[in-house]
Structures are given as structure tokens and as C-alpha cells.
A and B are shown apart, each in its own frame.
Chain A
Amino acid sequence: MDEQMGKSAQTKLFENCAYPVRQATIKEYVKVWERLSESGPFWSGHDRMAIIREARQSLECELCRRRLNALSPNAVAGEHDSVTDLPPIAIDVIHRIRTDPARMSKSVFDNALANGMTDNEYVELVGIVATSVVIDTLHQGLGLDVPETLPGSEAPPTGQEPPDVVDDGAWVRLAPRDGELNEVGIPRQANIIRAMGLVPAAIAFFFTVMRQAYYITNLPISISRSQAEFIAARVSALNQCFY
């Protein structure tokens, strides 16, 4: 209880924001931020916070800058400018996802596995980086500093029950299809949700944040569906996201 109260006192998101951030958004983001400081299935809380710090550091990384200017990121070798004690292969994956998502390729995933990362660790890491990107982008987009990382738990990863997953055309194994369609005729269990099927906890924290801004029906926001879809499509185009 004391630990929880202490954590909440440290968690300051959207503080002194000049713009009307919805209370529900603040509440859910704080909840996720605190959850990320706790140990997850495959990374400790300490490591999960380190993953966020490393993702931020990648934006200042000289190797990442040189890779961005190269015809292929795989043509440039070197060491990342790092600020954490995470394994080098984790640092490489984090920096690539954060700085150059448009040129992620299967060799990045294969190389991670070949260097000792498990597919479970990979998927949880992807979820943490993606969640921190959402939270940081919204803060900076509103003229705020990114939130401070919390002291992460040193407790070992919790592990998890083996999830039901299948090989279905992605680099990672996916949660199985449930065959149901949603209100707009798209699979209810879309591949973007199935993508983190190896680590259901990662689905939970990412989509808790995502759903504050976007949902397939009944958008919880004040702009129109067409405006939201235009923004979504433009971001996807800029990030050269095929999906």
C-alpha cells in the first residue's frame, strides 16, 4: 500500500498542461505508466523503464543517425550511444523501432533471436517501446516534457502461462483468429491485436493507451471519424507502415 501510494505521488503525467487532456486519458495513462514500472512477464520493472529510457536516447544516437542516412540501415555497423545496462541486442532492437520503423525487416527479428533474445522478450519489448512512443508523442505534441521514468521494480520477471499462438504469416507467432467480424466488417481479432499474442499483458497495456484516442467504432473523441482516419492514414504513410 505504501509502495503504491509512493508510486502514485511520483507519477506526474500531463502536469500543468495548457490544453484540455481528458481525465480518463490521464487516469489510464498513469495506470499504464505505473504498470510498466512493475515487473512484467519477461522483463523486470527496472528493465522496462530502461527500455523506455533507451528508446528516448535513440533519438540522440549517432549510429542511428548514420543508419537513417544510409540506403540500408543494415549497411552501417557500430555501437549505439546507450544509457542503460540492457543487453546490446535489446538496445539495437529498441533503437531501430524508435528511430527507423519504416525500415524494420525480418533480419532484425531473426538477429535478435540468434543473439539470445526470446520471441516472448521481443514482443514484450515491442509493446513497451510502442506504448512509450504514444505517451511521449502526446506529451511533446502538447508542448510538455516527456514524463520521468519511475524507479522500476527489481523483482524478477513474473513469467506467464504459455499462450495459445499460431504461425500465420507474421515474423512472430500470433494469437489465433476467432473468426468473428466487428461492426465494420473487419476481423474482431485484427492482426495488430494478434501480433502481441505471445504476451497478452503487452496487448493489455498498449491498447489501454491506444483506446483513449482511437477505437474502431464509437470514437471517444471530439473530431470526426474522417478526420481521425485521415490523421491515422497520414501517420501510417509517414512511417511507411504497410499494415
Chain B
Amino acid sequence: MLLRGSGEYELQAVMDTTIDSGVEHGRLLGQLVDTIISRDWEQVATLREECVTVMGAQETVDAIAVASAFNGITRIADATGIPLDSGPAEATASMRSQLAINDFSYSEKSRKYDRVSV
């Protein structure tokens, strides 16, 4: 997670939107992302206009483009069960534990869901 390396930010805000991340316009960006991923297009329209007013039109397009790109790339990771890269795996060990990201590991998901069948 390169957010760690891009400045001093509150990483818990990634998992808990009630926390201020310290990222400029982070709360608004977080709301925009949440509505995009939940496909609430009416609310996206409202937040998009708010972003244009606060950040600018190009910045808004770029923010939505980043969210769209990661909405795709997460599916590649999730469908192929790839392990973490060796460098980041070591560097993020405590953070993954702190944020409960280890619960998302593909072996943990497979253990959880594959023991159930019809």
C-alpha cells in the first residue's frame, strides 16, 4: 500500500470512513469511492458535482478513473489468488495485522468459503 510511503496519513481511515485520513479532500473522495463501488449512481452524480466544485473537473475525472482502475485490478488479484510481493509483504506485516487485512487472504477466504457446499 503506497499510501504509507506517500506522506503521513491515518491508515485506519482506509477501513473506517469516520476517521480523517489527512489526505486532501479525503472524506469527499472516500464518499465518492464508496458510492461508485456500491453502484449508487444517483449519489455518485451528486458527489461528482461536489468534487468538481471543490477539486476541479479534471481532478474529479482522474479520481473516478483511479477508482475504476482499481475496481478492475482487484478482480484480477481476487480471481487468481496471487500472494503478496515479497518486499511489500515484509514492509506491511504490522499494518496488515493492525487493519485486519489478513482476514482477506486468499487462503483464509478459501478456508472460510470452500468448506461449505450444496
Contact = CB atoms under 8 A, between A and B. Distances in A.
Contacts of A181: 87
Nearest to B116: A72
Contacts, number: 275
A241 B26 CA distance: 20
B105 interface: yes
A170 B82 contact: yes
A200 to B, nearest CB: 14
A142 interface: yes
A133 B72 CA distance: 5
Contacts of A59: 39
A186 B2 CA distance: 10
Interface residues of B, number: 75
A71 B109 CA distance: 12
A223 B54 CA distance: 13
B112 to A, nearest CB: 7
Contact of A107 (B5, B9, B69, B110): B110
B14 interface: yes
A87 interface: no
Nearest to A220: B62
A59 B37 CA distance: 13
Contacts of A75: 116-118
Contacts of A190: 85
Interface in A9-41: 19-22, 25
Contact of B64 (A74, A129, A138, A169): A138
Q: Range of interface residues on chain A? A: 35 or more
A62 B25 CA distance: 37
Contact of A138 (B33, B38, B65, B87): B65
A191 B76 contact: no
Contact of A223 (B21, B45, B63): B63
Interface in A83-122: 93, 97-98, 101-109
Contacts of B118: 74-77
B33 A234 contact: yes
A8 interface: no
Given A19-B60, A226-B6, A226-B9, A71 B116 contact: yes
A143 B37 CA distance: 14
Interface of A: 19-22, 25, 59, 71-77, 93, 97-98, 101-109, 123, 126-127, 129-131, 133-135, 137-138, 140-143, 168-172, 174, 181, 184-187, 190-192, 194-196, 206, 209-210, 212-214, 216, 221-243
Interface of B: 1-3, 5-7, 9, 13-15, 21, 23-26, 29-30, 33-34, 36-39, 41, 44-45, 48, 52, 55-88, 101-102, 104-106, 109-110, 112-114, 116-118
14 contacts: A97-B79, A106-B106, A107-B114, A126-B79, A141-B48, A141-B64, A143-B41, A206-B76, A223-B55, A224-B24, A226-B3, A227-B23, A232-B66, A235-B71
